[in-house]
Amino acid sequence: EGARMQLGTFRIENPIVLAPMAGVTDWAYRCIAASLGADITVTEMVSSRALVYHDKKSLSLLRKTDAGICGAQIFGNDPSVMAEGAALALEHSGADFIDINMGCPAPKITGNGDGSALMRSPALAARIIEAAVRAVSIPVSVKFRLGWDADSINAVEFAKMAESSGAAFVTVHGRTRMQMYSGTADWDKIAEVVNAVRIPVIGNGDVFSGTD
C-alpha cells in the first residue's frame, strides 16, 4: 500500500495533512499549503454553537480550500448541537469531511468542557461522534491528544471508541493536554494507536521538516 490511504470515496496518494491551527490556517494559508503538496487541509476550528446561532464570522472561517481535500473542523460538547453544527458546516462549506476537535488544550476551550476535556468523558465523546456521523453524508474524523495528563493516557482506548462510533480516521497529537505544546511529541504512543485500530491514523506534533 505504501503511504496511501482511503478517506471515504477519496484515494489519498500522499497523505500529507496540514493541521488545523486556530488563527493560522485561514483560506489563503490552506491554498498555499495545498499548492505545495498538502493533499488534505483542515479549517480553523469553529464552534458548533456559533454555527447553530448563524454567526457570520464562524461561517467565513469555513471557506473550502481551492485544491485537494478539505475538512471543516468543529468543536463543542453537546451531541445534538454538534450534529446540527456538522450539518451546517457541510452546507456552508461543501467540505469533503467533518473533523471533530477533541484535542485543543486552551483553557478557554477545556474550561467549557470542549476540546481535550472530552478525553476525560469518553462516553460523551462517543455520543458526539455518533451524532455527527448520523448528521452528515461525508466522512467524520476526530482529532485528540494522548490523554489529559501523564497519569491518564488513554489515546488507544479513545481511538477504539472513535472507530466503533463511526469515525473514518483519527488524528493523534503526541502530547497530553497538560503538556500543551511543551516537551516533545511521543510518536511511539501514536504508533500504539496505529496498531490498535483499522481506520487510518494521522500522526501530529513536532513535524518540522520534510524528513520528519
Q: Indicate which residues carry an active-site annotation.
A: 104
- Amino acid letter, 174: G
| Look-up of cell digits 461543501 | 94
Rounded to an integer, what distance in angstroms lies between the CA atom of residue 99 and that of residue 179? 22
Using a 10 angstrom Cβ sphere, with 0-12 exposed, 13-18 middle and 19 or more buried, the burial of residue 6 is: middle
- Show Cβ contacts of residue 29 under 8 Å, excluding neighbours closer than 6 positions: none
Using a 10 angstrom Cβ sphere, with 0-12 exposed, 13-18 middle and 19 or more buried, the burial of residue 175 is: buried
Rounded to an integer, what distance in angstroms lies between the CA atom of residue 87 and that of residue 107? 27
| Look-up of cell digits 501523564 | 150
